[in-house]
Chains A and B, each alone.
Chain A
């Protein structure tokens, strides 16, 4: 017999203290009433010859004490949750593997999570199994958390340190042969690598869940400065759910929708964020009896608008570029000629139209068809057969910019060494990004606006808008799944939306943080603000009732060990009743 809540020493001390207390109380109870009788002559005869001195009577006198001791010890030791271990087969190592997938955080009807139930089952397996060959604990992060040991406390400690985490799991490699493997899981997330002989112990319990399965903020292609948010909410509960979907911005903006979702049904809507100020945006799905809070909310980031001071350096007083910048609501435009150009402390961004300064400016710059300059990519020649053949539409600069049908009469052929090419025509770079040469970034378009129809093209305002946002650092954040999140090299000062710093570990030169709940993370990379939205938004994970253990025989029962506290308390109750009965019939004291 083992005690789940007590060490053997503590159990022995508890038993000794209880017995001592019972004995003290018993002998206090034995203080007799003083009764004077006329003569004790006949009593003496009775006691000398009668039943009081018989063996049965002596045992009867002890019966009360024995009953009291038994009752007290049963109650006291039941507090230690004793288990009666069951021996199984021969001396095979025991391996306990816990499923640490995100769905294990779902709540059960008892208010505990599946994970807490799994830990309890694991402790039960540990207590119920006699394994002289040792025990080992592991989880579906793929790691074996303890060596093969006979120290159950070490195994319990390792299990207590395990946590469910988002992301794909995998079954660990079991380093011992012929082991009895118990895999404690809810069977929702697929776990590759489970050996055939492993016994699956299910902690699955059906639960209601309505979750946000998609949330994305993107540029509004129809508006140069607009953004839209796409929200999808799905109901994975066994019953229909009325759900409130709330989209909220940091400036107090709020959009509320109510959706009636059938079991398995989904609801989606694209919201115009015109009225939202820049900053964090949260979407939240609220439904009754929701048992999986991890997917009830998701975060995004809306770049700030306005306030960008742009100096346009051009000889074309009435060109399309000037018109575009003048119309941009977030731009404070200053126009000058190349001859009058001087760097100014009040400028945030420079736009050079057909010209370039002799030295790299201290602020980011966008250059269209620049002449040769020392700090710019060296011009090798000129190419007139231009047809954009490749572009990186994942780069913030090129997002939503259609360039495949651009008509370009000619472009300078430059050496792209040390620059990032985001659009090119064959081997001729057309748009380059230079982040290293000068004190600030520069975007070089190797053809002039008067050499192409780019200024009249649908993607031109988007390109300029993208360039200005990229320069200002106010770009849409990257979206990542919860779990281990990797930041760019050099990222520092990683914080949550509420300002709490996150501890990062450096892996391959990149900071990596563990994120278990939806959040909007910020960091500083090379002086720029870097944002990252970490959300669950995963239909497979939100479907917490999609277990593979629902079929009969898919799961096995934990090994037969008996938790003894219930029978012990029942026995104590019976003994109390027996003591009451015997006391009132003067059988006991």
Chain B
């Protein structure tokens, strides 16, 4: 397949996606049996019985059982449907930090995951969020929709504060099918990243977290007297950066990442952490190997 460069995605990236597409086929075949929807409905394969309640479709009543037992039971079938994949890309101002920026890295990761999802005929939807949903792409299906995804991703600009709870609340209050919710963010939320993720969990989405950290987040190149400016809030703070403080910051960063990982383990969420100087194709393979992306 020949790729055409789209703004923000150069030819080299396209080649990497091609490679990933081949890899995804291999993984898709392996996990195809697991991709049935849990929803019971009008499929062909019998799943279970349940008692009739007024309003049920008469066509699914099991008359033979009624004749034998005298009770009205309804036959249930497993409904076969495609898997909705929601890719939440954090586009708050803090994601513009780093070189390359976390947002650029997140876009590449999102594009790669989108491509894999589209290739498996899943319904892929990309949502850009910050202090709310900033932009939302219509659901796409089929590999040839990848250019729309590219177009959408390339139009995402950083801005605003991170407020996942608000964004996920807006998302969940709409009539959404449950699906795989991949959140790509640095999770620097003043109010705590857990609240937003809990909403997704309450609405029974299968949540997968990709924590993106810039190299500068892990190894801040600060020394001496600085006036530190928060890029989201523009709040300033004078501080003296000493080696001790740098080490304390690194420990805090580790603790922060560990908190996200523990939260993921506790609620059986998928989690992967990456740094912007880590090759994103390796990251994608790591995601596949965890096995949560393609359930």
List the interface of chain A (C-beta within 8 A of B): 29-47, 50-52, 57, 60-61, 585-587, 589
Interchain Cβ contacts under 8 Å between A and B, 17 examples: A33-B224, A35-B229, A37-B97, A39-B94, A39-B162, A40-B228, A40-B237, A41-B189, A42-B249, A42-B253, A43-B237, A43-B239, A46-B248, A51-B245, A52-B245, A585-B243, A586-B223
How many A-B contacts are there with CB distance less than 8 Å? 103
Residues of B within 8 A of A587 (CB): 242
Residues of A within 8 A of B256 (CB): 42
B224 A52 Cβ-Cβ under 8 A = no
B231-260 vs A: 1/0 string, CB under 8 Å?
111011111111111001100110010000
Interface size on B, residues (CB 8 A): 44
CB distance from B30 to the nearest CB of A (A): 38
Known: A46-B245, A47-B239. A39 touches B186 (CB 8 A): yes
A37 B241 Cβ-Cβ under 8 A = no
CB distance from A58 to the nearest CB of B (A): 11
Most chain A CB inside 10 Å of its own CB: which residue of B186, B228, B229, B256? B228
A61 B240 Cβ-Cβ under 8 A = yes
Complex: A31 Cα to B238 Cα, angstroms: 9
9 residue pairs, one from A and one from B, having the closest CB atoms: A38-B97, A39-B188, A38-B94, A586-B242, A32-B227, A40-B230, A39-B94, A50-B248, A32-B225
Contact of A32 among B94, B102, B226 (CB under 8 A): B226
Residues of B within 8 A of A45 (CB): 252
Is B174 an interface residue, CB under 8 A from the partner? no
Closest B residue to A42 by beta carbon equals: B252
Residues of B within 8 A of A30 (CB): 225
B129-165 vs A: 1/0 string, CB under 8 Å?
0000000000000000000000000000000001000
Is B190 an interface residue, CB under 8 A from the partner? yes
Interface SS majority for chain B: mixed
Residues of A within 8 A of B235 (CB): 40
* Chain B contacts with A in 70-118, Cβ cutoff 8 A: 93-98, 102
CB distance from A164 to the nearest CB of B (A): 61
Most chain B CB inside 10 Å of its own CB: which residue of A40, A44, A61, A585? A40
Residues of A within 8 A of B216 (CB): 37-38
B177-219 vs A: 1/0 string, CB under 8 Å?
0000000001011100000000000000000000000101100
Most chain A CB inside 10 Å of its own CB: which residue of B189, B225, B252? B252
Complex: A52 Cα to B222 Cα, angstroms: 15
Closest B residue to A51 by beta carbon equals: B244
B228 A35 Cβ-Cβ under 8 A = yes
Residues of B within 8 A of A32 (CB): 225-227, 238
Closest A residue to B223 by beta carbon equals: A586
Complex: A525 Cα to B8 Cα, angstroms: 117
Residues of B within 8 A of A34 (CB): 226-227, 229, 236
Complex: A357 Cα to B41 Cα, angstroms: 177
Complex: A314 Cα to B236 Cα, angstroms: 125
Complex: A37 Cα to B225 Cα, angstroms: 15
Residues of B within 8 A of A41 (CB): 188-190, 230
Is B51 an interface residue, CB under 8 A from the partner? no
Most chain B CB inside 10 Å of its own CB: which residue of A37, A38, A585, A586? A38
B237 A35 Cβ-Cβ under 8 A = no
Complex: A377 Cα to B294 Cα, angstroms: 159
Known: A40-B237, A46-B248, A46-B249. A35 touches B222 (CB 8 A): yes
Residues of A within 8 A of B241 (CB): 586
Complex: A35 Cα to B227 Cα, angstroms: 6
CB distance from A543 to the nearest CB of B (A): 69
CB distance from A59 to the nearest CB of B (A): 13
Most chain A CB inside 10 Å of its own CB: which residue of B95, B223, B231? B231
